[in-house]
Amino acid sequence: MFSLHKLRQPLLRTQRTFPRYVARYAGDVSRSGTGRWSSSVALKSSASAYFIVSLAGFILLAVEPTSTSNVTLQFENYNSLQNSTLQSSDPATDTNRKPPPSNTTFTYPRLSDGENTRLVILEPGEVDAEFDLSSQEHTFFARSRLRSTLCSGMKIPITPNLDGALRQLRYTDRPRVLWVDAICINQGDMAERSRQVRIMQRIYANAIQVVVWLGRGAQDDARSFESLQTLKSVLNGQGDSWFLVRLGWYRDKNGRVFSGGAHRSMLTDIEYNHLITLLRRDWFRRTWVIQEVASSQKATVYCEDQSIPWEVLADVYMRLGDRFLPVSQLGGEDAHRSLENITAIERARRSHSGPLSLSLFHILLATSFSKCKDQRDKIFAVVGLAKNWVEQKGLLPDYDTREEAALDAFKDFAVTDIDHHRDLRVLSCASGSSSYKTLPSWVPDWRKIENVHPFPRYSDRTKFRASGGMKPEAWYSDNKTVLHVAGIQVDSIATLGSEPIFTKAIAMFEINAAKITDLERSFLWLEECETLSRDHDGLLTVRRRHELWRTLTCGLTGEAFPAPSRYSEYFDRYIEFMSSASDRFKDYLAESLTTVNEIRGLDEVIPHFETHAVIEASLDMWSARRRFALTHNGRLACVPKNTKEGDVICILFGGEAPFVLRPTSGGFYAVVGECYVNDIMQGESLSHDTISREFRLR
């Protein structure tokens, strides 16, 4: 617990007089500052004078009354309502308050019915004012250590990160009214938690600003904010064209990353490594932050006393992308996922307020790699952003304490999407490999999607119509654990290739022995695919080579558009290049050119650099997370990684792509995932006299 020695007041309280500790502002919040406060906050669409602060794990909403205005306060205690009029700028006006003993644990009163929430008041004080800390600490999420603070004179736990945010955000001369989910929501009351989560999107959307709190700052953070601002100016002044001169990024002796050739002097003042470090912060990978920022009218990112507009940060990272800033190679998986989450937030943000729109299906795919403690939040934390949220009324947040509750949320979404969207796109996200043994194979496990780039995610580009545009004939049985669908079987898996080990040679940032080994393994995988494509006489005909490149790329560019015919020539060049790539890079390594390339870019030393990059982008998008296969009817296919020989390839009515199914006992089938099979992606397997059958998926 802590209190301000200087002010002799508790840092936090939820009332202006004790024991009445829950306040509600029931009038319009405006700069005139007049209104009525009572037991909880009623959400008003006209409210415009509050902002939200988003932390790694906590969200604050601040309502800012004018310091000179009077407000009428109405407080609720356990037994009665009392009225009092106070000067909002003078929290010490009430001289009769008698706070309860500070060793008492805070107890939550029941919220009134309706869309209500609680507020807390942050008392004024200096950032570095001393706190009276108690010795009591508790384990939080098995990682964080809690501190105790005074709330209405009673103890309530907060994390060190929230403590830091409150210190930085509090005013020195007046109180600040906040909404803090960790304090304002009774986390132990599952029914209340469910109701509060349902109205969060409205809270975020009505805020005038969201403040993203990343935590305590460091020198690198200040440099990263400066570099982002500099890059924004460069991008605005010259566009993206200067980036296209060099697709690689290089690092000098000081650890800086710079572009080769003519642009080296332009970029040496930008600390790219610090941009990578910033992406490692946990906030960028959390599920809840997507709705917090995407719903906002305005957002600002804070790292202690450093700040930058969200639009600047998001725009620079999105325009750099992993193609230009080697996030994966320098920052690892965490930094790469942060970059993807930034993209997901900004796409949802633009679609929420602009002409674009995203369904819940697309939002779930874009955020599938984000983190949350409660796996139901994979859906509950983003459902409010969906353009079709009205259709998802059956997905209202419900924090049932049953262990299988998360499974119910995943299954409910799958059923809702099939019934309302009238296709089988959710099956493209299923893999049948969930650790939830009771989760039906046709229901995606949103905790971990094996393939985050299924074809329906880009249906406006791919134009696949394997079932000829037919709507699904689907129904459910056994408490909606069995999905009955109509379709036909077209083939089965005869031979499977190895799991791909693919390294993008053109995007290599640093040369070392390990990366050269990866290049060699990449070529061996491509060579194996070519071998599987040969006929019984060992020949690779022109037609078969055409089928090979189309199958490995799924007939698509790296941006999911249909691949043009010239890709055939690009592919042949790329295979020839890869056959000698490892030897070429070994020569570079022997010459101690451990960064690619200290003077010139790869595009200056490798012929057809641009077309190689195009083929690599397509292979990385479509083949790297699948397996090459040969069917019993001699077709080439690109199938899910967990496919087995003997699995069947089916066209299910309502599916954009064919599906790999696995026969199980009792005449049931398990969904393995979607696949690409050349020459059946546009409904070629169907005709007017096609006889369908029923598949029971479980």
d(CA 534, CA 541): 8
Among candidate residues 213, 216, 170, the one with its CA nearest the CA of residue 12: 170
Which tens digits make up the pLDDT trace of 268-289? 456 667 888 888 888 899 998 8
Judge whether residue 424 has pLDDT over 60.
yes
Which tens digits make up the pLDDT trace of 176-200? 777 777 777 888 888 888 888 888 8
Dig out the tokens for 544 from the structure. Answer: 């078969």
Judge whether residue 407 has pLDDT over 80.
yes
| pLDDT score, position 510 | 60
Residues 69-98 have a mean pLDDT of 28
Tell me if 204 sits within 8 A of 52, measured CB to CB: yes
495 DSSP β-pair partners: 630
Among candidate residues 628, 630, 637, 627, the one with its CA nearest the CA of residue 535: 630
For the beta carbon of residue 107, count every other beta carbon within 10 angstroms.
Answer: 10
Among candidate residues 622, 617, 595, 598, the one with its CA nearest the CA of residue 506: 617
3-state secondary structure 106-133: CCCCCCCCCCEECCEEECCCCCCCCECC
| pLDDT score, position 459 | 93
137 vs 558, residue with greater confidence: 558
In the block, which residue shows the tokens 């939080």? 140
d(CA 242, CA 258): 13
Judge whether residue 203 has pLDDT over 70.
yes
604-609: long-range pairs with CB below 8 Å, 24+: 604/260, 604/261, 606/506, 606/577, 607/577, 608/570, 608/573, 608/577, 609/247, 609/506
CA distances for 534 relative to 491, 543, 546, 644, 673, angstroms: 19, 11, 12, 21, 26
CA distances for 244 relative to 162, 230, 234, 260, 603, angstroms: 42, 18, 14, 11, 10
| pLDDT score, position 61 | 42
Q: Is 661 left (phi over 0), alpha (psi -120 to 50) or beta?
A: beta
- Could you give the angle at the alpha carbon of 322 between the alpha carbons of 240 and 642, nearest 5°? 140
- Residue 285 φ/ψ, nearest 5 degrees: -110, 10
3-class DSSP state of 347: helix
Q: Report residue 222 CA to chain centroid gap.
A: 25
Residues 257-267 have a mean pLDDT of 41
| pLDDT score, position 100 | 46
Judge whether residue 12 has pLDDT over 80.
no
| pLDDT score, position 497 | 96
| pLDDT score, position 663 | 98
CA distances for 322 relative to 308, 333, 335, 340, 454, angstroms: 22, 12, 10, 9, 20
Q: What is the DSSP string of 552-599?
A: HTTTB-TTSSBPPTTHHHHHHHHHHHHHHHHHHHHHHHHTT--BTTSS
Kindly indicate the confidence band of residue 656, based on its pLDDT and cuts at 50, 70 and 90.
very high
Q: Extract the runs of DSSP E, i.e. beta strands, from 135-194.
A: 139-140, 144-145, 147-151, 154-158, 176-180
144 DSSP β-pair partners: 140
Dig out the tokens for 579 from the structure. Answer: 């056959």
Strands 209-213 and 50-54, by their bridges, are parallel
pTM: 0.76
d(CA 395, CA 245): 48
Residues 592-618 have a mean pLDDT of 65
